[in-house]
Amino acid sequence: MECHYSVTIMKTVKTELVTTLKRQATRILSDLHRTRAPVLITEYGKPSAYLVDVETYDLLQDRISILEGIARGEQAVLDGLTLTHAQARERMKKWLK
């Protein structure tokens, strides 16, 4: 997993109607690749989906995975499921030769 943390995720969001997406998908995708700004697709005046470039999507997935790991760790602390350094070394002894 390669992370590119220099990539900025928060950008100006462009809004397009779903009918515009249907008619002008090539132009919208071209703009998306050029600007890397997410596109909010609306249906009947309501938000329906976001269109993002692949690199931004992958970066978001990596960040979500990291945040989920942090949340699991925080919950383990709250649940008292932590080990001392000595206990961890003992459990890891077979790998720490």
Every domain of the chain and the residues it spans: 11-52, 53-97
And the tokens for 4?
Answer: 């590119």
Q: What is the DSSP string of 24-45?
A: SHHHHHHHHHHH---EEEEETT
Instruction: Judge contact between 20 and 28, C-beta under 8 A.
Output: yes
How do residues 51-86 score in pLDDT, each as one tens digit? Answer: 999 999 999 999 999 999 999 999 999 999 999 999
C-alpha to C-alpha distances, 66 to 11, 57, 61, 62, 70, nearest whole angstrom:
21, 14, 9, 6, 6
Topology (CATH) of 11-52: YefM-like fold (3.40.1620)
The rounded percent of the chain whose pLDDT value lies above 90 is: 77
Average pLDDT over residues 17-43: 96
Cα gap 9→2, rounded to integer Å: 16
